[in-house]
Amino acid sequence: MMRNSSRCIAACIFLGLIASTAFAIPIAPGQSALAVPEPDPAGGGVVVTTGPLPFAGAAFSGTLNSTVIAGDANNPWGGLTFIYDLVNSPNSIDSVGRLTVTDYVGWLTDMSFRLGVPGLPPTTMDRSLNSNVVGFSFIAPPLGPGALLPGMFAATLVVQTNAPWWKPAMANVINGDVAQVPSLAPIPEPASMLLLTGGLLVALRRRR
């Protein structure tokens, strides 16, 4: 009885936090936050889309569709908006707990899931300390609405940026096992590219 009450209270707190947040906060490097719904993207046009690309792990499979939008009126940074549509195949024998996408280093990000669109919402959204990786996690009750079970699809996942360019990138679909799938992300910001290149050159010189 006590356990069920605790789960109910935790779920109510989570839902209350979601409902009380009208807009997602910008996600800084090293930050994690509750995922919130936003009416994004608003307008704009599709620059490029991958279409549904298959992935497969040891116990799950599915598709990821990545799309780049230019001219999103709700983008607080005025750059490109990246959206991700994740599906866990009905043939999977395990759920999906997390999606990450690389190559966001150097750019500002505002993360959310699309308001008013069917699909399982993520529980949290986060960014790695070095700013390179953005992630969405699907967490089981009482903390979240649940993992992405076989046959389910996620709510549209949105990352708004100030990046003016896009490039092919890799995404990771995770639940213990990791399945990689081609995706889309910003081209690294020029200053960050110089820093990364400089660090690589220093490392090579030290090895010599």
Query: Which residues face 173 on adjacent strands?
Result: 99, 179
| pLDDT tens profile 118-131 | 999 999 999 999 99
Asked if residue 8 has pLDDT above 60, the reply is no
Task: Say if 207 falls within a structural domain.
Answer: no
Domain of residue 17, residue span: 2-197
| pLDDT tens profile 18-60 | 333 445 579 999 999 999 999 999 999 999 999 999 999 999 9
Which of the residue ranges 19-23, 110-114, 188-192 would you say has the lowest mean pLDDT? 19-23
| pLDDT tens profile 56-95 | 999 999 999 999 999 999 999 999 999 999 999 999 999 9
Query: Which residues face 125 on adjacent strands?
Result: 33, 136
- Read off the CATH number of the domain in which 187 is found: 2.60.40
Question: DSSP alpha helices (H): ranges in 21-165?
Answer: none
Q: What is the pTM of this model?
A: 0.81
Task: Say if 202 falls within a structural domain.
Answer: no
Q: Could you tell me the pLDDT band of residue 168, with boundaries at 50, 70 and 90?
A: very high
Q: From CA 78, how far away is CA 86, in angstroms rounded?
A: 25
Number of domains comprising the chain: 1
What is the rounded average pLDDT of the residues 143-157? 96
Task: Say if 208 falls within a structural domain.
Answer: no
Task: Say if 205 falls within a structural domain.
Answer: no
Q: What percent of the chain has pLDDT over 90?
A: 76
Task: Say if 117 falls within a structural domain.
Answer: yes
Q: What percent of the chain has pLDDT over 70?
A: 78
Task: Say if 94 falls within a structural domain.
Answer: yes
Asked if residue 198 has pLDDT above 60, the reply is no
Half-sphere exposure of 98 (CA within 13 A, CB side): 16
